[in-house]
Structure 1
């Protein structure tokens, strides 16, 4: 049998699961979390759902406040994308369910190896920078264990914006369908706590979480958002 040219693993559907989460920014200029607000917690840990919340107080992301999420649920079952659900919709839903915040995905300028719809079908495979993308900016791959049938978990990270009361109907996940602003209540095992951005980087337990947050902060700085809209 011929040897394959790439080091490859193949997983049937029962051996992988997808999870979606977001770094959530508050563009209102308020120094406090939007209402309704989850109860703060001083502890921080690796959130299995991939939900970190960020709230900005000025137009400079370095002076923003960040909420890390303390997830006391260790069963690895949170944050999952449902059947027939897009990754974008899953990220918006999971932020609302787990943190209590309504949100919408926020477009960023970023490099990606996904080609534009305007590119030729045979365009070369390398990273190009595109504006206004609501695509995942980071993918985390978790090995769920060496045991039989464990498989892997794929965690897709997005950049999102906190929604506030009075915003009316919004297109939360970028699919063209508008929904009513609808905050929720955080699940009992999630407790967001707000910190300044740099402090949040230090609060996060794992380096991979710090890498994700740092990447999101950098994308916000380089995307030149209109912070007043």
Structure 2
């Protein structure tokens, strides 16, 4: 039996956790803003994300986690996305290469993180979302362990505790701004 030509890692279901998150934008005014969560116990500024439930789609998990952690209802925001996934209407035999598609509501980034105890990996699928209502319409109090707050892009990038979150936010901003 031949080995794969490709570098491969495989994990059983007990060796990975699948999470989804979304970068939550307020695009309702001239000064566009992004919503971060503050985890007071560790004094960390983060993007909203969390584990996907059994049977739940990644997209639904992202929307649920954002609402649970920020207190805001939101929806996925379509962007022009460079992706290797073909459109549903394309034939199966198109080349496996990145192409740009307008109005895509799929995940735009995947983070793969080693678990703390080296027992596997955490997969985090990232989406872009916008508020269903303007943030000024409702000011949620702390939601569980988190407090949500909106910031201008530059301030949000500086506030985030972890570089990985800054990388996700930078890419999301570029997609929302069409660059």
From the superposition, tell whether residues 2 and 211 of structure 1 become closer, same or farther in structure 2 (CA, over 3 Å). same
Q: Distance in 2 between matches of 1:186 and 1:116?
A: 40
For 1:153 and 1:73, the matched residues in 2 are separated by: 22
Higher percent of residues as strand: 2
Deviations 1:152-208 (A, max 9, x none): 11101111110128xxxxxxxxxxxxxxxxx98653211223322111111112221
CA contact (8 A) 2:34 2:152 kept: yes
C-alpha contact 1:112 1:127 (8 A) present in aligned 2: yes
Equivalence map 1:121-200=2 (5 Å) = 121-145=92-116, 147=118, 150-164=119-133, 186-200=142-156
* Contact kept in structure 2, 1:97 and 1:186, CA below 8 Å: no
Gap regions ≥5 residues in structure 2 = 43-48
The list of structure 1 runs, each at least 4 consecutive aligned residues, that deviate by more than 3 angstroms after superposition, is 183-186
- TM-score of the pair, normalised by structure 2: 0.85
For residues 61-76 of structure 1, the aligned pairs below 5 Å read: 63-72=31-40
Q: What secondary structure does 1:79 align onto?
A: strand
> What CA distance in whole angstroms lies between the structure 1 residues aligned with 2:57 and 2:140?
20
* CA-atom RMSD in angstroms: 2.2
Q: Distance in 1 between matches of 2:6 and 2:53?
A: 30
TM-score (norm 1): 0.67
Deviation at 1:6, TM superposition (A): 1.1
Flag structure 1 segments of 5+ consecutive residues without an equivalent.
30-57, 166-182, 224-229
